[in-house]
């Protein structure tokens, strides 16, 4: 059984009498532990596809099976539980709470996770250490660089030990050096902890970290290729 299976997926948005088809007849499978990059130009449907895969939106055609269950069969409560416990999200804009420490930002998802409150600090500190920022525990976002903010966002995505991490243009607001550090962090998590990674990007250098590249154009799959990870030999964050 595939971890995630997409069959003839379609997504159309309706605004009064105007219909905009964003995804058309998209089909692929993702196995646990894969690192997949989804590439394409602006308007190709990348982010819409991520939102559907991450239970943030629903398709208007076709099927999406997560762990063998069709997405439409999940109740709103079940879908929310899957998002919180089995999925982690990293976005381009960081989405950190201002005037709140790194530790408090990373702890936030644990409030809704069912984890005992007494374990929150240690669990969050472990996630922060995994992205190399333990020395920034008590810093606020305004005291961090862009790359450090994104690594805090990665730690927050990790804290509930999700099965899959969705990263939507995680280096889009960063300079090239900070972007490489963030991607090294994501790759380390995949290598050391076996997380399934789905990376949305339009940048070739970030896609090079993946093992597989799915290219979208005009809402359809243009190619689906397994690639040699050219970044495997890079030094990882300790």
DSSP-derived letter for residue 60 is S
Structure confidence at residue 232 (pLDDT): 53
Q: With bands split at pLDDT 50, 70 and 90, how would you rate the model's confidence at 231?
A: low
**Cβ–Cβ < 8 Å for 225, 212:** yes
pTM (predicted TM-score): 0.88
Strand partners, 184: none
Distance of CA 190 to the CA centre of its chain: 12
> Which has more confidence, 93 or 50?
50
Token match 């359809």: residue?
A: 220
Terminal CA-CA length for the chain:
35
The pLDDT of 147-175, averaged and rounded, is 91
Residue 84 C-beta-side C-alpha neighbours within 13 Å = 15
Closest by CA position to 163, among listed 46, 34, 63: 34
Number of H helices, E strands in the chain: 7, 10
Phi, psi of 96 (to 5 degrees): -90, 150
Q: Which residues contact 85 (CB under 8 A, 6 or more apart)?
A: 113, 114, 160, 162
Structure confidence at residue 229 (pLDDT): 61
Q: With bands split at pLDDT 50, 70 and 90, how would you rate the model's confidence at 234?
A: very low
The pLDDT of 61-67, averaged and rounded, is 96
Phi, psi of 46 (to 5 degrees): -60, -55
Q: What percent of the chain has pLDDT over 70?
A: 95
Structure confidence at residue 32 (pLDDT): 93
Handedness of CA 146, 148, 150, 152 (dihedral sign): negative
- How far is the C-alpha of 156 from the C-alpha of 67, rounded, in Å? 23
Q: Lowest-confidence range among 58-67, 150-159, 187-196? A: 187-196
Q: With bands split at pLDDT 50, 70 and 90, how would you rate the model's confidence at 211?
A: very high
Q: What is the pLDDT of residues 101-129, one digit of tens each?
A: 999 999 998 887 778 889 999 999 999 99
The pLDDT of 193-212, averaged and rounded, is 91
The pLDDT of 95-101, averaged and rounded, is 92
**Cβ–Cβ < 8 Å for 231, 182:** no
Listed in order, strand segments (DSSP E) in 40-147 are 61-66, 69-70, 87-91
Q: With bands split at pLDDT 50, 70 and 90, how would you rate the model's confidence at 27?
A: very high
Average pLDDT, the chain: 90
């Amino acid at each position: 059984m595939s971890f995630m299976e997409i069959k003839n997926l379609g997504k159309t948005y309706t605004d009064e009498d105007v219909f905009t088809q964003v995804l058309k007849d998209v089909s692929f499978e993702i196995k646990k532990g894969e690192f997949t990059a989804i590439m394409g130009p602006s308007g190709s449907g990348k982010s819409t596809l991520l939102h559907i895969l991450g239970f943030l939106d629903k398709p208007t055609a076709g099927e999406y099976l997560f762990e063998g269950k069709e997405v439409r069969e999940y109740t709103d409560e079940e879908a929310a539980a899957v998002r919180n416990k089995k999925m982690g999200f990293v976005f381009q804009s960081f989405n950190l709470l201002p005037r709140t420490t790194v530790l408090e930002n990373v702890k936030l998802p644990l409030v809704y996770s069912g984890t005992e409150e007494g374990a929150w600090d240690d669990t969050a500190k472990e996630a922060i250490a995994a992205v190399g920022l333990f020395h920034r525990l008590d810093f606020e976002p305004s005291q961090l660089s862009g790359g450090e903010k994104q690594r805090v966002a990665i730690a927050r995505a990790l804290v509930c030990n999700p099965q899959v991490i969705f990263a939507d243009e995680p280096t889009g607001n960063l300079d090239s050096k900070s972007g490489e550090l963030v991607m090294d962090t994501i790759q380390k998590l995949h290598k050391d902890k076996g997380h399934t990674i789905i990376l949305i990007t339009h940048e070739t250098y970030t896609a090079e970290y993946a093992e597989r590249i799915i290219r979208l154009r005009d809402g359809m799959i243009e190619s689906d290729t397994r690639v040699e990870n050219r970044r495997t030999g890079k030094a990882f964050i300790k």
